[in-house]
Amino acid sequence: MNKPLSQYFSLNRRYSRSINIERDLEKIDALLGYIPTERSVNALRRILAGLTEKQSRSAWTLTSVYGTGKSAFAHFLASLCAPQSSQMRQKALEIASEPLGSDSSEYLALTENIPSRGLFRAVVTAQREPLSHTIVRALEQGANVFWSALDRNKLDVAKKLVDIAGLVATGGAVDSRKILNLVQEVAASAKTDMLLIIDELGKNLEFAVQNQGAEDLYLLQQLAELSRDNGSQIYIVGLLHQAFTDYGERLASVQRNEWAKIEGRFEHISFNDSPAQMMRLIGQAINRSNAEAILCAINSQAAEWLEGLPSDIKDDFTLNLLDEVYPLHPIVALVLPILCTRYAQNDRSLFTFLTSAEPYSFRNFLEETAVVDCSQEKGEEPLPVLKLDRVYDYFIEAVGMGLASRPNLQRWVEIQNLIDDAKRKDTDTLRVLKAIGILNLVTTTGAVMATRTLVSLAMCDSFSDTTFGHWQQVIESLK
């Protein structure tokens, strides 16, 4: 009996939408399915060293381009610092236990040194506005979560915060010098440490540039330098798309030097994964809990690929990884992260391809493609896989990838024009041209270069696929 692949595979729901740290702070659904990558585990360890071991650093910037999961990581970090009794903290600890090790000193420090009432979590997404306005909004958000309405009515600092937040909401001016005192007052009233997370911090920096290095930017330096003398520590995490000082390139040299001093108060954490790490993330994102009936066939096909792939590509795979990325063709799994890193929005575009309902998406492939519900036996057709020509159809035809804003637009245009010129040719010729086009987009040299053998393999469902010779002939005809 044939069944669609969608009955065997699904995508972990965490990847179906992006994270907004303000909106999702207390939403358990936004945390479910979060998978710590190597970059996020590294960032977590470095920040936890400050939070739990009370090391000298109390301020960090996470820097990477769009779509690499910084906001999702920030949400995970904030959840680890929630009250001990909350579902958010329990789930976040469960997620952290695997990469850190539930019996490791790091994990034990995390469970023991974050107070039972949690930290005062002031999280905010910045706008092009003074930094003081952003911080006030963060404090207001944190107060609404940390204190009950009854407590806020009793606390003088909460009332003061409401008044200042109202002023900010109407566009009023706020003396940045008073904000530092306000932060300290809030932390003292909360009687716990404060975690201030500013997503899109670059928008504050852009505003400062437009206003010739607005003075309230020094708030960052002052906050980062606050000591623990009053009993509470202020921890700051800023999320950026490029290095701090890159935002100030248009400033005068004197101002740029001042920015560099401010940046020096923060520990810089690069938040980028290699394509190989992103490929492992694909495997983790594909839920195959219902695929038991075809697991034997998947493993058999994966073993063939591991044996037959060219040696310079084989090094990127293990048998387990080939199992996990199915129903993607191994070459597709290898190419997709490179394609999304160079031409799109990294993880965001990658997981949009996997989870969206757009034509030619991975999700649609699962719904449209049927497989026999039994273990593969000798002589049967191989299991179907999503191939490079479908990747082309998705990114070029269905989405367009925002090419007008991409620096490598010319390469896309050349390839698309060549394939458009060949549209009168037969279907298999077009499919081969699309596969060649995708391979040429990611490299013109090296392991994934569009050689005759690699392209032929890219068109086959398995390494022993009997159609290999057919694809060789199609390529020959194109010469």
- In the chain, the amino acid numbered 236 is I
CA distance 177 to 182: 9
Per the DSSP assignment, residues forming a β-bridge with 4 are 370
CA distance 428 to 422: 11
The pLDDT score that the predictor gives to residue 156 is 92
Convert the pLDDT of each residue in 173-194 to its tens digit: 788 778 889 999 999 999 999 9
The domain defined by 38-270 folds into Rossmann fold (3.40.50)
The pLDDT score that the predictor gives to residue 296 is 92
Burial 415-430 (b: 16+ CB within 10 A, else e): bbeebeeeeeeeebeb
Q: What is the DSSP letter of 384?
A: P
CB 458 within 8 A of CB 329: yes
- pLDDT averaged per 10 residues, the chain (length 479): 89 70 92 84 91 79 79 95 95 94 90 92 94 94 94 92 89 82 93 95 89 71 76 90 79 82 89 78 87 92 92 87 95 89 70 86 94 58 93 78 56 83 90 93 73 93 91 90
CA distances (Å), origin 100, targets 36, 59, 105: 10, 22, 9
Helix (H, G, I), strand (E, B) or coil at 331: helix
CA distances (Å), origin 213, targets 153, 209, 223, 225: 37, 5, 17, 20
Q: What is the DSSP letter of 382?
A: P
The pLDDT score that the predictor gives to residue 320 is 92
CA distance 436 to 452: 9
CA distance 415 to 423: 13
Locate the domains of the chain by residue range. Answer: 38-270, 276-478
The DSSP string of 213-239 is S-GGGHHHHHHHT--STTS--EEEEEE
Mark out the alpha helices in 114-250 (DSSP H runs): 131-146, 149-154, 156-169, 176-190, 201-210, 218-224
The pLDDT score that the predictor gives to residue 173 is 79
Structure tokens at 290: 């219902």
Q: pTM of the predicted model, to two decimals?
A: 0.72
The pLDDT score that the predictor gives to residue 224 is 86
The pLDDT score that the predictor gives to residue 378 is 46
Q: What is the sign of the dihedral through the CA atoms of 107, 112, 117 and 118?
A: negative
The pLDDT score that the predictor gives to residue 379 is 46
CA distance 281 to 331: 16
CA distance 35 to 15: 10
- In the chain, the amino acid numbered 71 is S
CA distance 46 to 373: 47
The pLDDT score that the predictor gives to residue 375 is 47
CB 462 within 8 A of CB 326: no
CA distance 285 to 261: 40
